[in-house]
Amino acid sequence: MYRLGLRLTLRSGKEALTRLLVTMAAVAAGVAILLAVLADFHAFEYTNNQPRWQSTVGTTVTGGSSYSYSYSASGPNAHSELWNYRETVFRGRTIDELDLAALGPGAPLPPGIGALPHAGQYYASPALAALLASTPRDELGERFPGTQAGIVGDRALTGPDDLVVYVGYSPSELAVRPSTIQVSTIAGGAQTSVWTNYFRYAFAVGAVAFVLPILILIGMATRLAATRREERYAALRLVGATNRQIAVISSVDASVSALAGTLFGMLLFVLFRPLLADAALFGSKYFSYAVTPTALGYLALLVCVPLASTIASLISLRRIRISPLGVTRRQTPPKPSFLRVLPLLVGIALYGYGIATTNSQEIGPGVYPGLLLAMIGLVIAGPWLTFVAARLMARYTGSAPSLLAARRLADAPKASFRAVSGLVLAVFLGSMLGGLMPTLNETNATPSATALSNVLLDTFPYSPVCGDNVNCTGGDPNKTATTTSGMLGLEPATGAALVRQLEAMRGVEVMPYYSLSKDATATPPMGGGKNGSGPRPAPHRSASYDAVVSCAALAQMPALGSCAAGDPAIEADTSNLTSDNPRDSTEPIAAPGNPAAKADFSGLYLRGVLVKVDNATTLEVVRTFLVTHTPLSQSGIAPRTFGEAVQARASVASIVQRITNIAIVLTLLVAGCSLAVAAGGSLVERKRPFTLLRLTGTPTRALYKVVLLEALLPLSAATVLAIATGYGLAVVAAVKVAPKGTPVPTPSGSYYLTMGIGLLAAFALISGTLPFLGRITRSDSARFE
């Protein structure tokens, strides 16, 4: 029977060969896309498992002089080194910088290098080395003193675009740095990014919404022209074939086409894998050798796809098992009822209750269950929606093609909707994210943040003062320094010199702010206005003022507030400036009601500077100057503009939106392929009635319209339902979560463009089946039917 099944599959005429080739092509497309998804996830897992050397912990260098941290071949420090990890920024990209100094020959090696850099040497990642070679030294190279001794290998990187540098120093130089630690063991654990679990959950949700259409495509492809095959199998049953023999023949037919399609899909993936490896879907590139499925992934598809195809073919034989004559006794299935919509309505109501109970501390208990139930409800409600759409088309259109299409859709709405059921989930999630992303971006890119986009912020957490513990004298063990508690910022003389040097640069405007000294005398909130006369308004809010700023400097950056007329300086609240949320960090720090202060800053510690630059080159020159001229006050936080902070937040949203758009386009394409396969199969099954219609005078273009309407109506209905539900839920969430005054979100142009391209591509795929209709319904074919 196996040989008979193979012969029937491969040598049953042009119709069987065409069905085999179409099935192979559809399965190959689905398998190739599935492999691409698995490859990208494997690349993410590989990257996430790279050693997280940046999370290394050690002993804080606070006791003794730097003399005790000199290089020694023996002793307790012989197997350790000094670390000072920090981040810096160049053109919006973060650079991981590790300054290190070996304390002995047994010092551990960071990943990616074969030997520690000596003082005056550094190792750079390939991407950073290319940047250093192509960028003026005063914009970037001066941040890393010395000469390049080698390249940082892949083991220390998460991708080929990573910017990483290891800079060598002497122990005496690093010992005086704030945040320097002594390390004897380097962390080798996996990356523990906050986005790791988020990505896994997002991948799981996306997989359900994206893989389901592909599985539906594969399933429909393997059941192509199922009715014609059922008639053949019924004829074999009538001449004496048993159920088991029919099952063997059907299994061979399904497994051969599925196995061939799986192998062809793997070949397609291998051919196009270099393009996938070069694509930065998630904002940065993965190493090309990591963008590949595991051997288990290949094996699973090679086994599971033919197996699933075989099971689907056996299930389709249930009517023949009852009776071979049951194939011809077809009954119209019952009409879907309105009860199919109830899960969707309950899910929406539960989601609405969850949003209503959501607050700033927690998400309401009904949000996630409601969202899941709504997704399930969309699929359940689909056949009813198709049935209603078909009835409406039949009622309000009087053309013959629309009536024929409406009658077929109304008779079998479940089968008609099945081809696009997987599309609903992807378009639903895409529409929901498309509605939420603009709101998230608007809450970050506030008017203040936009006005301050070219303003660089650098803060100085504390200033070492010569004392008992920390050396600040260039290696002299007889002179040491300590950190004085409460003195925030650079000491007055150093701070004043830094501000003068910044102000001397071309294309910059500087606004320094200073720590309030303990004996500073400030004008009280009430009494003493301009020149000490007239009432003074109360402070604009009850705040703990922590800094003093010049009113003349503040006037250069009005988004941060203003002073009362005539005030030379004002006390300000700068606590939000260093927030990682641009919505908070760009709030005004001063108002006319704040207490006035003296304009003499000579005895105050410089707490931070805000520098407005006129172009990108000046920005990098200023940033390099700050990095290299304040080594004793670096906290590991890179000087960054407010625009870069907004962009960092927006980049996450743009990555999510990009992935969503790609998923929507691919899902629409897959849905179009499924509809094309379904349309092609229905043409084969209805070859006889369509041929008779042509013989009776029905124009071919009328039959074309019937096929297009049967395919496009479920596609359009499913898309509209998914968009309306997803966008509606997004608006409900945005109105609740967004700050008051935020406009109702509208999807971006990329969303509409993506949806339009996907639908046009699906329409093109469906239209590709129409020439086949003309060939199979020629008049000379009627004699054989």
Please give the angle made by the CA atoms of 550, 555 and 559, to the nearest 5 degrees.
115
CB 422 within 8 A of CB 670: yes
The per-residue pLDDT for 451 is 85
Dist CA 265 CA 247 (whole Å): 26
431-455 per-position pLDDT tens digit? 887 777 777 666 677 777 788 889 9
Pairing state between β 464-470 and 481-483 = antiparallel
Domain boundary (626, 644, 662) is at 644
DSSP-assigned letters across all residues of 678-696 = HHHHHHHHTHHHHHHHHHT
Nearby residues of 316 by Cβ (< 8 Å), 6 or more positions away? 223, 226, 230, 250
The per-residue pLDDT for 778 is 72
E-strand stretches of 291-358: none
Global pTM exceeds 0.75: no
Is the model more confident about 700 or about 199? Answer: 700
Q: Supply φ then ψ for residue 240, to 5 degrees.
A: 120, 0
Range of the structural domain that residue 79 is part of:
55-183
Residue 546 pLDDT class (50, 70, 90 cuts): confident
The per-residue pLDDT for 92 is 85
479 in the same domain as 624: yes
β-bridge mates for residue 181, sequence order: 60, 83
Residue 527 pLDDT class (50, 70, 90 cuts): very low
Residue 734 pLDDT class (50, 70, 90 cuts): confident
Domain boundary (622, 644, 666) is at 644
343 in the same domain as 321: no
E-strand stretches of 91-228: 93-102, 121-124, 147-151, 164-168, 181-183
Mean pLDDT of the chain: 77
Dist CA 151 CA 115 (whole Å): 11
59 in the same domain as 45: no
- For the ranges 68-77, 719-728, 730-739, the lowest mean pLDDT is seen at 68-77
Q: pLDDT at residue 466 above 60?
A: no
Residue 186, amino acid:
I
Q: pLDDT at residue 737 above 50?
A: yes
> How many other C-beta atoms can be found within 10 angstroms of the C-beta atom of residue 555?
13
E-strand stretches of 629-714: 640-641
Dist CA 739 CA 736 (whole Å): 8
The per-residue pLDDT for 486 is 43
What percentage of the chain carries pLDDT values higher than 90?
19
Tell me which H or E stretch contains 468. Answer: strand 464-470
Is the model more confident about 639 or about 11? Answer: 639
260 in the same domain as 224: yes
210 in the same domain as 62: no
CB 389 within 8 A of CB 717: yes
**Exposure string (b/e) for 502-527, b if CB count within 10 Å is 16 or more?**
beeeeebbbbbbbbbeeeeebbeeee
The per-residue pLDDT for 539 is 38
Residue 111 pLDDT class (50, 70, 90 cuts): very high
> How many other C-beta atoms can be found within 10 angstroms of the C-beta atom of residue 403?
15
Residue 273, amino acid:
R
632 in the same domain as 506: yes
215 in the same domain as 177: no
Please give the angle made by the CA atoms of 562, 568 and 570, to the nearest 5 degrees.
55
Query: Alpha-carbon Rg of the chain, whole angstroms?
Result: 35
- Residue among 212, 247, 219 at smallest CA distance from 233: 247
3 in the same domain as 80: no
Q: pLDDT at residue 198 above 60?
A: no
Residue range 661-679: average pLDDT? 71
Q: pLDDT at residue 410 above 60?
A: yes
Token output for 560: 């941060």
202-240 per-position pLDDT tens digit? 555 555 555 666 666 666 666 655 556 666 667 776 777
The per-residue pLDDT for 529 is 36
Residue 330 pLDDT class (50, 70, 90 cuts): low
Nearby residues of 192 by Cβ (< 8 Å), 6 or more positions away? 52, 55
The per-residue pLDDT for 53 is 87
Nearby residues of 154 by Cβ (< 8 Å), 6 or more positions away? 112, 287
CB 211 within 8 A of CB 111: no
The per-residue pLDDT for 320 is 54
The per-residue pLDDT for 612 is 94
Please report, in angstroms and rounded to a whole number, the separation of the first and last CA atoms in the chain.
28
Dist CA 672 CA 764 (whole Å): 8
Token output for 265: 């899909």
Residue 739 is classified by DSSP as: P
Q: Supply φ then ψ for residue 182, to 5 degrees.
A: -100, 125
- For the ranges 72-81, 372-381, 589-598, 612-621, the lowest mean pLDDT is seen at 72-81
Q: pLDDT at residue 773 above 70?
A: yes
The per-residue pLDDT for 135 is 94
Dist CA 257 CA 250 (whole Å): 11
390 in the same domain as 487: no
Dist CA 6 CA 24 (whole Å): 15
Q: pLDDT at residue 538 above 60?
A: no
Is the model more confident about 479 or about 386? Answer: 386
Cα separation values, 161 from 92, 124, 164, 288, Å? 13, 12, 10, 12
Residue range 705-728: average pLDDT? 86
Is the model more confident about 639 or about 315? Answer: 639
CB 228 within 8 A of CB 682: no
Nearby residues of 422 by Cβ (< 8 Å), 6 or more positions away? 209, 212, 213, 214, 215, 216, 667, 670, 671, 674
The per-residue pLDDT for 120 is 92
Nearby residues of 453 by Cβ (< 8 Å), 6 or more positions away? 641, 642, 643, 646
Dist CA 430 CA 667 (whole Å): 11
- Residue among 490, 486, 514 at smallest CA distance from 571: 514
672 in the same domain as 557: no
Q: pLDDT at residue 469 above 80?
A: no
> How many domains are there within the chain?
4
Dist CA 302 CA 259 (whole Å): 7
594-650 per-position pLDDT tens digit? 899 888 888 888 889 999 999 999 999 999 999 888 765 555 567 888 888 887 777
| Range among 141-145, 222-226, 757-761, 771-775 rated most confident | 141-145
Dist CA 523 CA 327 (whole Å): 96
Domain boundary (156, 183, 210) is at 183
Dist CA 250 CA 660 (whole Å): 38
555 in the same domain as 446: no
Residue 648, amino acid:
A
β-bridge mates for residue 87, sequence order: 96
CB 147 within 8 A of CB 121: yes
The per-residue pLDDT for 524 is 34
579 in the same domain as 501: yes
Is the model more confident about 166 or about 242? Answer: 166
Q: Supply φ then ψ for residue 505, to 5 degrees.
A: -75, 150
Torsion over CA of 438, 440, 443 and 446, rounded to 10 degrees?
-50
3-state secondary structure of 535: coil
